[in-house]
Amino acid sequence: MHYRVEHPAGGYKKLFETVEELATPMSVHITGRLPTWLSGSLLRCGPGLFEVGSEQFYHLFDGQALLHKFEIKNGHVTYHRRFVKTDAYVRAMTEKRIVITEFGTFAYPDPCKNIFSRFFSYFKGIEVTDNALVNIYPVGEDFYACTETNYITKVDPETLETIKKVDLCNYISINGVTAHPHIENDGTVYNIGNCFGKNFAIAYNVIKIPPLQADKEDPVTKASVVVQFPCSDRFTPSYVHSFGMSPNYLLFVEQPVKINLFKFLSAWSIWGANYMDCFESHETMGVWMHVAEKHTGEYLNVKYRTSAFNIFHHINTYEDNGFLIADLCCWKGFEFIYNYLYLANLRENWEEVKKIAEKAPQPEVRRYVLPLDIQKNDVGKNLVSLPYTTATATLRSDDTIWLEPEVLFSGPRQAFEFPQINYKKYGGKDYSYAYGLGLNNFIPDRLTKLNVKTKETWVWQEPNTYPSEPIFVQSPDAAEEDDGVLLSIAICPAVGHKPSFMLILDAKDMSEIARAEVDINIPVTFHGMFKKA
């Protein structure tokens, strides 16, 4: 089922429009019937301010962080949103200009200061952004909004107030961590980030934050490094957005999108440079995969290799009979997909959006199978013996293991992205269902359920409607993996009805159960969570 849906009206442009925060939660109009058992808050992060005064933010990941909440309580729903009061936001509001350089937007020095003080403020070192627009997740009893730098921001999930900025560098050897931690059912948090190791060599550290202990101390202060993954190149770490975890293993997929550290360290003294300018593609490395034992921290010295792709999101990773199975959302090729996510591109008219997407790396959901036990006399053989997959792993004479994937989902310029699963029960385990946001030439216009075993898909879609990542919430008496609902925030900016809503779908067949509509626009959100009441 490949839908060729057109969007000539360009309603998706409303996803990238500045909105105001709300002083208090607003009431919501419900159509359909809310499941009686559904109680709690859908929390989502994304950009909500796309310009400051006359200065524009240029990239999708630059707008200032807005925290959204749909709260479901006793059959009633309210919608609330507040800007995260990061340093980047507060200083922009105070000085009425962009003060902190964002992912794709350079912050010019204050024109009102004289040339001398401008010169000195310039060399004070790097001011790294704390703009927490990507995700929100729990640590102990606290909740943090985050981006991908060393700063995370503690927020109150009830009032959406900003509590404090936390610098992870104070507790752990790390230069930044992803917005995609793995969280175990006991509350243990695992995450990964780049770090400068010995002799300025680059490595990737996996960190672990324990659950809240009896002493009630902040778990962040007890963070530790559990594994150090080596880097394919001493001076250019790969961009890392997420990682895989099974009960016994950690999986890191090292992609050919690299951060040039020399550029990065000098960018802050070059007029006009930003984070995006520091990325480059390594055209010959392909993709390296790294595996470590989760409990002992032991690195498996196996050279897994495959052809080039960009990866942002892991769907799930599980073990089966001596193999590690990794389901990934891939973009084929080594060119960085973020090059296509400038706001000017996303705000183009539909014909232009399609032209731009033609040139970009193409999306594909893939399954890779990594053999964990390798015998030296198997050169030239496919080591994968699982009956249910066509993925292969071939031992070559240079000791590398060449991986070829099984394709789980593919459609021209149709991505299955922002994947979610029944994580509490099936994260790290053999599973059947993934839920994703369908990107049509980079425009989010449908929700898709994928059976990873049969490759069957179910789609929810509505004309001129633009949803967000679907969050799975399991029903209390669930017997099967897909017993539950999906929650997504959608906008339908056509004239004559409420422009935004929280959508509630039956996760079994993707049929609509209810929607909670509000009378204001809701811009794009990236990731989020459901916090049970």
Angstrom distance (rounded) from CA 410 to CA 416 = 8
- Collapsing DSSP to helix, strand or coil, 175 comes out as coil
Q: Which residues pair with 76 in a beta bridge?
A: 73
Phi, psi of 125 (to 5 degrees): 115, -175
Q: What is the DSSP letter of 321?
A: T
- Residue 236 and residue 230 in contact, taking contact as beta carbons nearer than 8 Å: no
The full DSSP string for 333-373 is SSS-GGGG-BHHHHTS-HHHHHHHHHHSPPEEEEEEEEESS
Q: Which residues of 237-267 are buried (b: 16+ CB within 10 A; e: fewer)?
A: bbbbbbbbbbeebbbbbbbbbbbbbeebeeb
Which residues define the annotated binding site? 180, 241, 313, 527
**What residue has token string 């000791």?**
399
- Coil, helix or strand at residue 511: coil
CB-based burial label for 386 (10 Å; 0-12, 13-18, 19+): middle
For 142, residues 6+ apart whose C-beta sits below 8 A from its C-beta are: 154, 218
Q: Which residues, 6 or more positions from 143, have their beta carbon under 8 angstroms from its beta carbon?
A: 43, 136, 137, 154, 155, 156, 157, 531
Give one word for 463, left, alpha or beta, with left for phi > 0 and alpha for psi -120 to 50. Answer: beta
User: Would you list the DSSP string of 76-132?
Assistant: EEEEEEEE---HHHHHHHHHTS--S-BTTB--PPPTTS-HHHHHHHHTS--------
Q: What gap in Å lies between CA 87 and CA 84, rounded to an integer?
A: 9
State how far the Cα of 443 lies from the Cα of 18, in Å rounded to an integer. 18
Binding residues for Fe cation: 180, 241, 313, 527
483 SS3 class: coil
CA angle 130, 131, 134 (to 5 degrees): 115
> Rounded to whole angstroms, how far apart are CA atoms 77 and 69?
10
Question: Strands 299-306 and 400-404: what pairing?
Answer: parallel
CB neighbourhood size of 480 (10 A): 13
Q: How many CA atoms lie within 13 A of 284 on its CB side?
A: 1
CB contact at 8 A, 443 and 353: yes
Query: At which residue do the structure tokens 């990065």 appear?
Result: 264
